[in-house]
Amino acid sequence: MKKILGLGLLAGAASLTGCAEKELLPPEFEPNLVFARGIEYRDDIPMEEPLSKTQVYLDELFGTPDAPKLPDFISEDEELASLVSLEILKKAAGPVTESTGLYRRHQCHTCHGITGNGRGKLAATLATYPRDYRMGLFKFKSTEGSDKPLREDLRRVIWDGIVGTGMTKVPDMKEEDLDPLIDYVIYLSWRGQLERNILYMNEDVYLELDEDATEEDIADAEAEAKDLIEELTIEIAEDWLYAEDGLFDVPERPEFPVPDTIADVVAAAEGSELAESIKQGKEVFGSEIAGCTKCHGPEGYGNGQNKDYDNWAHDWTTKMGLNPADEDSLIPFIARGALPPKFIDPRDFRQGVFRGGEQPEDIFRRIACGIAGTPMPAAKNLSDDQKWHLVNYVRSLALPEEDADSASTPQAGDAESRGGDAESAAD
Ligand code: HEC
Ligand code: HEC
């Protein structure tokens, strides 16, 4: 216990505020109670047993936050073993020491939680909730649809942070910290997604045995469960390994100008080719076929009529047969750690904030592919030129910083959904 206490102290004074005793115990991967409760609610089956059995399997395969492991059938397969390196990810895992704990040293856990469940102690205060990696779904990536991000995509968000959210750039991050953090995020996501998949398939994984089942039957059922879990583990690993297959190639820039910087777009001279492109972009933006105004509003102020939640909120509400707006029915879930659902705001382009990067190619990609996990759809029926015009148009709306701060459009009687000031305070 003394040793743990010492390491806990090294982890920084921040973690000592509040319930010190609890913080100093070695962290565990807590079971995904919210997801299990959802299945229980929807399918009317008890989940307590699958939940605790799954926990045992997962500990066996992936270890604990302080002592991570990888399954043998992964380490022993050359290709699967190339996904993440245990040696490297150990530098990010565990308590902060000279050779471990980068995830905690760089405070990732204060938002994403030690176990990657998106429920660190700051999470509830942020206008945009931190990512729960366990759904295996990521937003700002160069692949299409819900395909996994490339390592490069994770590298960028971890290195730059995500503008307009609480996740700011970490000033003292070193380049050599990146690979361990990337591996560790993949590890947490992999483990968490596996847990969900096992729970989801619980009736196939944990066969129900008759009362007169022999020991042999029990052993067979266990072997079968292990096989199925192995298959599920490999499936997720392969999604990560072959993420590149889903890469979206951004086309060359068009004949008309698409400036590198937002300032150059904003400064477009009247009557110029650029101004003409912006004008065309505005037309496309307002067109029925593009449908952008439904969410972003006629002027791109982020105040369209459509209001929706993201997939992380739908996951345990709508998908399980609950109405995210019916607060009472959510109580058992919130008691199990779910964060109250909030509307996701379409971007207000006056702010000039592009979370997935502000280069024209980044924005082209967001428009062409949509943003996974959010209502923002892929623009399927537009030509490349139309998309480039849109890129110019949305960037042209950026106001100078001081004006952008005060340009807040009330969102149809829902102050809560704008998330208060947490986000702007964190910028
Ligand atoms: C102050 C809170 C905070 C801290 C600290 C923080 N993040 Fe985040 N992170 C967020 C939020 C909020 C989002 C979600 C942004 C969004 O959905 O637009 C996010 C998203 C992410 C994503 C998902 C990106 C995507 O494309 O979906 C990854 C990966 C990530 N963070 C990794 C990290 C790592 C690694 C660290 C530590 C170096 C870290 N974060 C520190 C708040 C934080
Ligand atoms: C169904 C609602 C919806 C529609 C339709 C929609 N968007 Fe979005 N859009 C969103 C939401 C929500 C976000 C914020 C997603 C996030 O970052 O979490 C967003 C974000 C964006 C962003 C910011 C990307 C970034 O990196 O921050 C751009 C650019 C954008 N939308 C452009 C468009 C364009 C152009 C169209 C029309 C072709 C469009 N959107 C149609 C909902 C929508």
Query: Ligand 1, from 167, 182, 189, 345: best to mutate by most atoms within 8 Å of Cβ?
Result: 167
Q: What is the pLDDT of residue 23?
A: 56
Mean pLDDT, rounded, for 358-386: 97
Whole-number Å distance, alpha carbon 410 to ligand 1 midpoint, is 26
Kindly list the protein residues whose Cβ atom lies closer than 6 A to any atom of ligand 1. 106-108, 110-112, 122, 126, 128, 130-131, 138-141, 149, 154, 157-158, 162, 165-167, 170, 181, 185, 355
Q: Which of 257-263's residues contact partners 24+ apart within 8 Å by CB, and which partners?
A: 258/360, 258/388, 258/391, 258/392, 259/360, 259/392, 260/359, 260/360, 262/352, 262/358, 262/395, 262/398
Q: Measure the CA–CA gap between 130 and 164, rounded to whole angstroms.
A: 12
* Percent over 90 (pLDDT), the chain: 87
Specify burial of residue 127 (Cβ count, 10 A radius: 0-12, 13-18, 19+). Answer: buried
Going by C-alpha positions, the residue among 70, 68, 1 that lies closest to residue 29 is 68
Mean pLDDT, rounded, for 16-41: 78
Does the pLDDT at position 125 exceed 60? yes
Does the pLDDT at position 425 exceed 50? no
Specify burial of residue 10 (Cβ count, 10 A radius: 0-12, 13-18, 19+). Answer: middle
Whole-number Å distance, alpha carbon 157 to ligand 1 midpoint, is 7
Q: Which atom, in ligand 1's list, is nearest to the CA of 129?
A: 12
Q: Which two tokens stand for residue 327?
A: 């607060």
Q: What is the pLDDT of residue 403?
A: 73
Q: Which atom, in ligand 2's list, is nearest to the CA of 366?
A: 24
For 308-352, the pLDDT digits (tens) are 999 999 999 999 999 999 999 999 999 999 999 999 999 999 999
User: Is the CB of residue 60 less than 8 Å from the CB of residue 53?
Assistant: no
The ligand placed nearest to the CA atom of residue 171 is 1
Q: What is the pLDDT of residue 405?
A: 63
The ligand placed nearest to the CA atom of residue 378 is 2
Q: Measure the CA–CA gap between 42 and 125, rounded to whole angstroms.
A: 29
Q: Which atom, in ligand 2's list, is nearest to the CA of 291?
A: 5
Q: What is the pLDDT of residue 414?
A: 32
Atom 40 of ligand 2: nearest residue by CA position: 292
User: Is the CB of residue 66 less than 8 Å from the CB of residue 27?
Assistant: yes
Does the pLDDT at position 406 exceed 80? no
Kindly list the protein residues whose Cβ atom lies closer than 6 A to any atom of ligand 2. 290-292, 294-296, 306, 344, 346-347, 354-356, 363, 366-367, 371, 374-377, 379, 390, 394
Confidence bin at 407 (pLDDT 50/70/90): low
Q: Measure the CA–CA gap between 5 and 23, rounded to whole angstroms.
A: 10
Going by C-alpha positions, the residue among 353, 389, 406 that lies closest to residue 160 is 353
Whole-number Å distance, alpha carbon 167 to ligand 1 midpoint, is 5
Does the pLDDT at position 22 exceed 60? no
The amino acid sitting at 323 is: N
Confidence bin at 401 (pLDDT 50/70/90): confident
Q: Measure the CA–CA gap between 153 and 79, rounded to whole angstroms.
A: 21
Q: Which two tokens stand for residue 418?
A: 């704008």
Of 70-84, 189-203, 392-406, give the lowest mean pLDDT range.
392-406
Does the pLDDT at position 226 exceed 50? yes
Whole-number Å distance, alpha carbon 347 to ligand 2 midpoint, is 6
Whole-number Å distance, alpha carbon 129 to ligand 1 midpoint, is 9
* Percent over 70 (pLDDT), the chain: 89
Q: Measure the CA–CA gap between 417 and 366, rounded to whole angstroms.
A: 23
Does the pLDDT at position 374 exceed 80? yes
Q: What is the pLDDT of residue 21?
A: 46
The amino acid sitting at 318 is: T
193 torsion bin: left (phi>0), alpha (psi -120 to 50), beta (else): alpha
